[in-house]
Amino acid sequence: MRRRLIVLAAVAVTVLPGCSSGGPAHATGGAPAPAVSVSGAPAVAHSPASPYRIPTFPAAPVPVPIKLAPGASAPFLSRIPTTQRVAFLTIDDGFVKTADGPKLIAAAHIPVTLFLTLNAIKDNPGYFAPMQHNGAVIEAHTITHSELRGKPYAFQRNEICGSADKLGRWYQRRPVLFRPPFGDKDANTLRAAHDCGMRAVFMWKETVDKGIVRYQEGHSIKPGDIILMHFRPAFVKDFLAALQAIHRAGLTPALLEDYIPA
């Protein structure tokens, strides 16, 4: 995914001695999941039975949905305007399916939103079903991961509606949120998303790649921030880096869908 972020700060995750660096970039197999630590992070409680060092978070507050402006276009958000001490972890695409992915999401017991691309997951849509069972919510990210900005309305509507319709059949819930590939959009994107039943369209405030968190603003995650990562070979490092950054900021992971009114 193209990067348009100004990198002002980064938090790197390091693999503890003797641990693997993560699973392979395919759906089968996978190296043992590493235990990781973040330099300078506070001590993090984790289960002795788990191979992952997952932060312990306080319970998320009762969500207070935000207000969205009415109109013929879906609103475009990179942060949820809330004072509640929560952040939102989102995971895109689905091209790389490591063995660690479902295990880690099951072990973490935190809510995540998956923006899945149809062509990325069609080889193994069942891979994501255990994640959904363990609290992940599946949303739309187009059929082909094509650039939408500048394309005709009909093309964009087909990409958005077509992906939402198929995901609805596969996972028994039609998506209501949308992320455009590369975060790029125009007026046609927002209108097509609205017409396809999407309540909102999402950008992000932080990205995670190869165990490094990059910030658009400042040096820490802020309440309401939306964090972007992908299904990539370094999934374990990225996922744990995101959770450690949320933990360091004194925030709790919350479910993005809970803050978007029906």
Which among 247, 90, 85 has a CA at the least distance from the CA of 175?
A: 90
pLDDT of the residue at 52: 86
pLDDT of the residue at 25: 31
Give the burial class of 27: count Cβ atoms within 10 A of its Cβ; 0-12 exposed, 13-18 middle, 19 or more buried. middle
CA dihedral 137, 141, 143, 147 (to 10 degrees): -170
pLDDT of the residue at 43: 35
Q: Where are the domains of the chain?
A: 74-259
Give Cα separations from 232 to 78, 144, 210 (angstroms): 22, 17, 9
Q: Cβ distance 92 to 242 under 8 Å?
A: no
Q: How far apart are CA 229 and CA 184, in angstroms?
A: 16
Q: What is the pTM of this model?
A: 0.82
Give Cα separations from 218 to 2, 6, 82, 215, 238 (angstroms): 21, 10, 18, 7, 20
pLDDT tens by residue, the chain, 262 residues = 433 333 334 444 433 322 322 332 333 233 323 322 222 333 334 444 567 889 999 999 999 999 999 999 999 999 999 999 999 999 999 999 999 999 999 999 999 999 999 999 999 999 999 999 999 999 999 999 999 999 999 999 999 999 999 999 999 999 999 999 999 999 999 999 999 999 999 999 999 999 999 999 999 999 999 999 999 999 999 999 999 999 999 999 999 999 999 9
Regarding the domain delimited by 74-259, which CATH topology (the fold level of the hierarchy) does it fall under?
Answer: TIM Barrel (3.20.20)
Q: Cβ distance 41 to 244 under 8 Å?
A: yes
